[in-house]
Amino acid sequence: MKKILFLLIGILISSSIIGQTHPDWIKKSVFYQIYPSSFQDNDANGIGDLKGIESRLDYIQSLGINAVWLNPVFKSAFQDGGYDVIDFYQVDPRFGTNTDLVELVNQIHKRGMHLVLDLVAGHSSNQNEWFKQSMQADTNLRYSNYYIWAPYKPNDLSEQEASRWVEANAPRGKYYIKNFYDIQPALNFGYAKPNPKHPWEQPVDAPGPQAVKNELKNIITFWLEKGVDGFRVDLAASLIKNDPDKSATIALWKELNGWFDKKFPNGVLIAEWFNPKQSIEGGFDIDFLQPGHLFSPFQRGQKVPAKVYFDKAGEGELIKWYNDYKDQYESTLNKGYISLPTGNHDSPRIADSSRNDVNQLKVAMTFLLTLPGVPFIYYGDEIGMKYIPGSPDVEGSRTRSGTRTPMQWDDSKNAGFTLAETKKIYIPQDPDPNRPTVAKEDKDPNSQLNYVRKLLTLRASSTALGNDGEWKFISDPAKPYPMIYMRSKGSERYLILINPSGSKVKAELSSINTKKAIYVFGTSEKCVYKIGKGTDMITLPAVSAAIYKIE
Ligand code: NOJ
């Protein structure tokens, strides 16, 4: 009897530790992020579309990918690349129709894959009918309180707060609050602590914020009922205003995620919050770590420390990344998934003018695709497409256009992206005659593309290397080269060794308890692993990565 009681208590404790539920499929998921305007054009107008994406599903699947995230595809004014939505219930004609989207979902499901869309939860376009109605003097209209209107701008605002006030001189009010660009008025989810002297600061339970919350549920339901598997939620941390510790925003998401999990137990919600500690507490399944911000090596061209970790100079630091990563990993363990993506539509790519030899890219990919949590590959990173500096500012992209250049498929006109005239292409492609392409790399067994495929095959074959495998840092983060960590599950153990520097490096490892170290994958068979009594010795050639199975 006692035994049964202990067992029951054990089960109860472990299920409350595991706590949050996730659909089974994300445990083995590997995502591919597609910027729809830049992936594949089917109707020869120079801009990518849904039919184009559909025509490339076999390729996507050939990578070992089983889930796709599309940047926004809804009707938009395209002054921020689709993140300025005019109609949340309608696919933009440039991408196709709602029927085309359903067809794409069906094709994706047929392959056992999943599709996630982008939900711009915090704002709309200023051309959205909701906003146009809320501008009217009459405050009793359906959408009157969907936005935040104020008659004057208080002079005690912080610089950051003040930057969100847009002067509109509308019948409804002189100012509205925006979220990002001026054309993106913030939706009104209310204020965490409304200031009674500021009547525009409505509490979260006021009718306006409640109606906006319900609208969000309607949008989610509309698309999930069409077969879509979930959303990546844009600026998820931004919804409730004056919420410095994010407690009200976390509470709002807890409620929304609770509702979502019940209604769509097979769906996922992914936060763009860049702070999994908070977003996972809010019930999200996955959150990103900034490819640049938390791991400064990838932040070239922005505010970066001069010394980059993933650089042949071998002068970068690891300690800050390590501390941040470890903290996020440990805080979210068994609750939700973290993801350090290979890149995204807002950040520079891994490959650029100085980090572009194939070994460097393979080393970076070995690192990114052997971390715990859910991998996200940004389209084109698998072939080493480069960030193209100086790309023209298109639809509010600013310097982000360098990372959104169209996919390079083959050596035909426009690299197989479109049959349109080259001058009509959405963003000019990499002008390098030797630019990487899928066709070239497909044929080359040593290409980055085939390396990524093999890495993902290895990852899929092992629970230790998979999304739920444990992660433990083995090398001393204060001695950055090489970086060594272990992935394990039960008795299965792998050591990952990463040396982005241009010099051969050695490391001593103690307490691994190694009987056998088998080289299973990497950039060079020249890595040496010597098992010693208590201490193992590792030697890695310049710019190399290796994965050892440890027994
Ligand atoms: C984050 C998105 O990733 C970015 O592309 C967009 O400009 C802003 N949110 C505003 O929606």
234 lines ligand 1 (CB under 6 A): yes
Nearest CA owner, ligand 1 atom 2: 234
Question: For a substitution probing ligand 1, which of 83, 86, 128 has the most ligand atoms within 8 Å of its CB?
Answer: 83
Nearest CA owner, ligand 1 atom 3: 346
253 lines ligand 1 (CB under 6 A): no
Fold of 470-550: Immunoglobulin-like (2.60.40)
Q: What is the per-residue pLDDT for 294?
A: 36
Q: In the chain, list all ranges with CATH 3.90.400.
A: 127-186
- Asked if 378 contacts 341 with a C-beta cutoff of 8 angstroms, the reply is yes
**Residue 69's beta-bridge partner residues?**
33, 116
120 lines ligand 1 (CB under 6 A): yes
Instruction: With CA atoms as reference, report the closest residue to 219 among 300, 304, 294, 122.
Output: 122
Long-range contacts of 243-251 (CB under 8 A, 24+ apart): 243/191, 243/192, 246/278, 247/192, 248/190, 248/192, 248/204, 249/192, 249/282, 250/278, 250/279, 250/281, 250/282, 251/282
Instruction: With CA atoms as reference, report the closest residue to 73 among 226, 205, 201, 210.
Output: 226
Q: Which amino acid is at 437?
A: T
Q: Which amino acid is at 286?
A: I
d(CA 387, CA 70): 20
**Residue 510's beta-bridge partner residues?**
535
Q: What is the per-residue pLDDT for 2?
A: 57
- Asked if 124 contacts 184 with a C-beta cutoff of 8 angstroms, the reply is yes
Q: What is the per-residue pLDDT for 6?
A: 55
Strand 528-530 with 376-378, pairing: unpaired
Strands of the 470-473 sheet, one edge to the other: 470-473, 483-489, 492-499, 544-550, 517-522
**Which CATH number describes the domain made up of 127-186?**
3.90.400
- Asked if 542 contacts 501 with a C-beta cutoff of 8 angstroms, the reply is yes
536 lines ligand 1 (CB under 6 A): no
Q: Which amino acid is at 304?
A: V
Question: For a substitution probing ligand 1, which of 33, 187, 235 has the most ligand atoms within 8 Å of its CB?
Answer: 235
d(CA 186, CA 21): 30
Instruction: With CA atoms as reference, report the closest residue to 336 among 299, 374, 307, 389.
Output: 374
Ligand 1 centre distance from Cα of residue 507 (Å): 41
- pLDDT by residue for the chain (551 residues), tens digit each? 555 555 555 444 433 344 578 999 999 999 999 999 999 999 999 999 999 999 999 999 999 999 999 999 999 999 999 999 999 999 999 999 999 999 999 999 999 999 999 999 999 999 999 999 999 999 999 999 999 999 999 998 999 899 999 999 999 999 999 999 999 999 999 999 999 999 999 999 999 999 999 999 999 999 999 999 999 999 999 999 999 999 999 999 999 999 999 999 999 999 999 999 999 999 999 999 987 533 564 444 555 455 788 989 898 888 888 999 999 999 999 999 999 999 999 998 989 877 889 999 999 999 999 999 999 999 999 999 999 999 999 999 999 999 999 999 999 999 999 999 999 999 999 999 999 999 999 999 999 999 999 999 999 999 999 999 999 999 999 999 999 999 999 999 999 999 999 999 999 999 889 999 999 999 998 999 999 998 999 999 999 999 999 99
Ligand 1 centre distance from Cα of residue 141 (Å): 29
What 3 state SS string does 127-152 have?
CCHHHHHHCCCCCCCCCCCCECEECC
Q: What is the per-residue pLDDT for 292?
A: 59
235 lines ligand 1 (CB under 6 A): yes
DSSP string, 312-327: TT-----HHHHHHHHH
Torsion angle, alpha carbons of 154, 162, 248, 280, to 10: 180
Q: In the chain, list all ranges with CATH 3.20.20.80.
A: 26-125+210-460
Q: Hey, what are 535's tokens?
A: 């201490």
Which residues have CB under 8 Å from 547's CB, separation 6+? Answer: 366, 370, 458, 465, 494, 495, 496, 497, 519, 520, 521, 522
Q: Where are the alpha helices (DSSP H) in 407-500?
A: 438-443, 448-461
Tell whether domain 26-125+210-460 is in CATH 3.30.460.10: no
Q: What is the per-residue pLDDT for 3?
A: 58
Q: In the chain, list all ranges with CATH 2.60.40.1180.
A: 470-550
